[in-house]
Amino acid sequence: MRLELHRAIVKDIRWGSPTRLEDHVLYVDKDGVIAALSDDDRIDSWEVDLTRPGESARIIPVKDVIEPRVKLDGGEGFFPGVLAPNEIVGNGKTLVLSGAAVISVGPIMAFQEGFIDMSGPGADHTPFSKTHNLVINAQPLEGLEKHQYEEALRVAGLKASLYLAESCKGAHVDEVQVFDKGTVSEEAIKYPNLPKVVHLCMCITQGLLHDTYLYGVDMKNILPTLVHPNEILDGAMVSGNCVSACDKNTTWHHVNDPVVQELYSLHGKEINFLGMIPTLESTVLAGKERTSSFNAKLAHELGANGVIITEEGYGNPDTDICMNVKKCEALGIKTVVIADEASGTDGSGQGLADATPELTAFVSAGNVNEMVEVPPMERVIGYPESIAHVSGGAEDSLRPDGSMYVELQSIIGSTCEIGTNRTGSKWV
């Protein structure tokens, strides 16, 4: 597969008609965005707004973040199985509006959502304080069932991102990234002496609005499978979960997966990058046992010498980590885990909810319970009172002056377990 990401860099975002990218400024036609979303009769009204890096603005509660992308050739639309034909992606040319993002807002399942600050100390913990954002807020019809509301808002975010990218197809491209890799058998012939490494990407698949979609299919209904890394970078995976904000892998995270990109950079030099195994995090013991057995079996059948395991969420998925490590190591496959920790506000507690002696290589993405004080913002988009129900927030988190005292886990992407965060750990 050969994928070309044609990156057009966005340095500012403003209202303007028509929607276009001109001199690195993304002009957005407000009426055009709303028109692109208005075919969903489950939503009563739409509100749209813009935020820029450094502004005194807070977005709360956030559902998803999406990078605007569209196929330039070899396909149509984007996000196969959702807004594009359900065909294998990862080939051809894709336009990327780098530096822009669509952020969807709505109190669907409040305790599993979070916020983004565009300035101040909270901004240091999320990549989306550095992006130029179109924010969409959906007001559902009265009495709309929460799963229907979630689906409507999830798809709306994808639609808005596609609308922006399609409107900018003629934009100047600043950079072209090429990702070119053959099949597992072809690469094994080319690099017979390099260690084989696979990325085991654990995804929230627990139902009750904790879901991830692969080619439009709810992943809790599938068995672990192998995908070419180009497929992930080209929109095959979509976030549909309301997991704790800190370690939620948004759709933006998936198409920019740093583990995939880092392993790609080493492919053919230090390692043979086999690809990704997107895998489940079940809520029941039997599901965890079955999935971890399939993960280890698949990695072994591929001839993997090493597995990079990344988690999404924390708590009961920590048992999935331990099972994946234990079963891979038993087959002679070396493992490295990237995950965050829930070790209490002072950091003295046990980081993971489970343990196994085989887990000896662990990269920490930070402590989700660390306390952060964020100042009031001049502008709040959404529902500031929802911090009372957000994981990491409490009834007294929102102060009368608009400042908040919260755990790190209430900030979107603050302890991202595929490594886009700025928080980690150090030896002392």
Residues labelled catalytic: 242
Q: Which residues contact 50 (CB under 8 A, 6 or more apart)?
A: 13, 14, 15, 28, 132, 133, 134, 135
